[in-house]
Amino acid sequence: MSKGRLEAFSDGVIAIIITIMVLELRVPHEANLAALRPLILVFLSYVLSFIYLGIYWTNHHHLLQASRHVSGSVLWANLHLLFWLSLIPFVTAWAGENLFATLPVAFYGTVLLFSAIAYYILTRTLIGCHGQDSPLAVALGRDFKGKISLVIYAVAILLSFVNPELACLLYVLVAIMWLIPDRRIERALAL
């Protein structure tokens, strides 16, 4: 089965998710800087979520570049990932509008955790489709960065009930880890 439709569909869904998220930013009614002050946390939650969606989009692109074809199980694994990513606008707005309160921060982390699990499932499903000696399997190796991200998310979710601000810093840490370009797939494809 061709991977082209999967790529186009995923790109479209992620674009819609970003659009929905930006529509949650409410324009203030006053034309002064003081009117922007209440929106700072909403904007910061938007920025972090935009970065996360960008990370998923670029890594998804790399995954599919390393793939020759997809199967029905890959399509379902991809839909599973898109489901969790589609919840990002909701938890982003909830966390930002409630000043990063405990429960919204925990739910934000839960969506990030399940998005990461879904991405891991997608990578394993693609490897199963292409074989353990495929360029994708070789590039991902043991996927330390993916696994440590899961651990950090789980710790941050628990920590959000004690210190939501520190939990948010852990979410930022994971985003920074993934912002550093991951060249594993590009290197494997160049061989």
pLDDT at res. 185: 74
How far is the C-alpha of 181 from the C-alpha of 39, rounded, in Å? 31
Residue 182's pLDDT band (cuts 50, 70, 90): low
Position 166 confidence tier, pLDDT thresholds 50, 70, 90: very high
Please, which contacts does 129-134 make with residues 24 or more away whose CB atoms are closer than 8 Å? 129/67, 129/69, 129/70, 129/71, 129/73, 129/74, 130/67, 130/68, 134/66
Query: If you average pLDDT over every residue of the chain, what do you get?
Result: 93
- Global pTM reads 0.93
Owning domain of residue 19:
4-190
Number of domains in the chain: 1
